[in-house]
Chain A
Amino acid sequence: MPEEFRYTDEELIARFQDGDEQAYVELVNRYRDRLMSFIFRFVNDMEKAEDIVQDTLMKLYTHRHFYRNIAKFSTWIYTIAGNLAKTELRRKKRHKVTHLSHMGTEEREYQLPSVEPETGETAQGHFAEKQIQKAIQELPLHFRTVVILRDIQELSYEEISKIVDVPLGTVKSRINRARLQLQQALKEYR
């Protein structure tokens, strides 16, 4: 087993704060795909999601000394990513409102489904995934964040509560309501 796997996330960030850049690379490797999954499910745009993950990891680089070892590293990094994603969505919403009439065909094309040939099972799987993804986008932001963190990222209620900075009971309630909304939205496809 490589030496770096002996370190926890918290040990790695501590080493990085002391100037060990290899620890930063290890943290990037541990989190880049997890964050990508989280952000993509949130903003539903691969390019934007990758930009946000880059921004998050740049913040980790430039603001490394802001991390205090009183919270889990994952909580801290997910909080940064979530805030950046929300900012992006708000910006996108403003942009949409302003330029809806000027929207070009290229922007619309981005939403078109893939035309690659697929087998029956994979096509059904992709269809189901797309429907879930679409239903997730319909959720209000405060429901969307918690349900992605719980059911896709599989974080604990306690950690989600710290990331979104709301009480545990509120998190549980939001997750339950989000699941019910998704169930209602997906009912017609079943």
Chain B
Amino acid sequence: MDRYQFEDLISDFIENKLSMTQRKDFETYLDENPEAMQQLDSVKQVIASMKSMPEVSTSTDFMKNLNKRIAAEKEAQSVVKTTRSFAGYTPLMASLSAVVVVAVVLLGLEFIPETNNQATFSPTMAEQQVDDLPILPTQPNDDILAENEDDSTHVDEDMPNTTDFKDRIQLVGDRRP
């Protein structure tokens, strides 16, 4: 056993926690090294001195001060309980949250693009669209109707028969004049 091994085992020796073999080795080292014996005695004294140190007590006001702190804690807890009434939010926080939600919705509506669908059509917009139309020359309604009598269903008898392709189609090998 060397000095370091001896020092490592001092506490175990004092508290009687060494095995028989270790104890024998330890005692042999002590017999051979008087300064080791002195060190052992010194460590024993340190332990004894620490054990005999007087117990330190709390002051006479200790309980009074503690009770004050407990009373303050209870009061704080009761204040928290009474103010929590809207799903865990204080009334102030709940009001502020509601205002913020309404503001966001209104702002969102402002940013929706204008379209002609029914959802966004309003009388004022209709008036504006009419105003934007080009001004047409005024014409009596009867004339417009007269002009439009020749519609696509009318067949003019004087018109050449455009479906006669006899003279226009010449087949390959056709020797007709």
A→B interface (CB under 8 Å): 28, 32-34, 36-37, 40-41, 46, 49-50, 53-54, 57-58, 61-62, 128-129, 132-133, 147, 151-152, 154, 172-173, 175-176, 179-180, 182-183, 186-187, 190
* A32-B62, A50-B59, A57-B66 known; A183 vs B39 contact (CB < 8 Å): yes
Considering the complex, which residues of chain B in the window 1-45 have a beta carbon less than 8 Å from any beta carbon of chain A? 7-8, 10-12, 39, 42-43, 45
* A183-B43, A187-B42 known; A58 vs B11 contact (CB < 8 Å): no
Q: Give CA–CA (A3, B69) in the complex, Å.
A: 27
User: Is A128's CB under 8 angstroms from B49's CB?
Assistant: yes
Q: Give CA–CA (A112, B152) in the complex, Å.
A: 122
Cβ distance B68 to chain A, nearest Cβ, rounded Å: 10
Nearest A residue (CB) for B40: A183
Q: Give CA–CA (A46, B39) in the complex, Å.
A: 33
The answer, yes or no, to whether B175 is at the interface (CB within 8 Å) is no
- Which listed segment binds A: B50-58, B90-98, B121-129, B142-150? B50-58
Q: Looking at the complex, which one of B39, B49, B66 makes contact with A28 (CB distance below 8 Å)?
A: B66
User: Is A180's CB under 8 angstroms from B7's CB?
Assistant: yes
User: Is B53's CB under 8 angstroms from A180's CB?
Assistant: no
Interface size on B, residues (CB 8 A): 28
* A180-B7, A183-B42 known; A40 vs B53 contact (CB < 8 Å): no
The answer, yes or no, to whether B75 is at the interface (CB within 8 Å) is no
| Chain A to chain B contacts (Cβ below 8 Å), 8 pairs | A33-B56, A53-B58, A129-B53, A132-B50, A151-B51, A176-B11, A186-B49, A187-B42
Q: Looking at the complex, which one of A46, A58, A61 makes contact with B56 (CB distance below 8 Å)?
A: A46
Known: A34-B55, A36-B57, A179-B11. 10 other contacts (CB 8 A): A41-B56, A54-B62, A58-B73, A151-B50, A151-B51, A152-B50, A176-B7, A182-B46, A183-B43, A186-B49
Q: Give CA–CA (A190, B48) in the complex, Å.
A: 14
User: Is A50's CB under 8 angstroms from B51's CB?
Assistant: no
B→A interface (CB under 8 Å): 7-8, 10-12, 39, 42-43, 45-47, 49-51, 53-59, 62-63, 65-66, 69-70, 73
Q: Looking at the complex, which one of B43, B54, B69, B70 makes contact with A129 (CB distance below 8 Å)?
A: B54
User: Is A36's CB under 8 angstroms from B49's CB?
Assistant: no
User: Is A179's CB under 8 angstroms from B56's CB?
Assistant: no
Q: Looking at the complex, which one of A147, A176, A190 makes contact with B8 (CB distance below 8 Å)?
A: A176
Q: Give CA–CA (A144, B66) in the complex, Å.
A: 28
Which residues of B have CB within 8 Å of A33? 55-58
Q: Give CA–CA (A74, B56) in the complex, Å.
A: 18
Cβ distance A30 to chain B, nearest Cβ, rounded Å: 12
For the complex of A and B, the 5 pairs showing the least CB-CB separation, nearest first, are A151-B50, A176-B11, A40-B56, A37-B56, A183-B42
Cβ distance B72 to chain A, nearest Cβ, rounded Å: 10
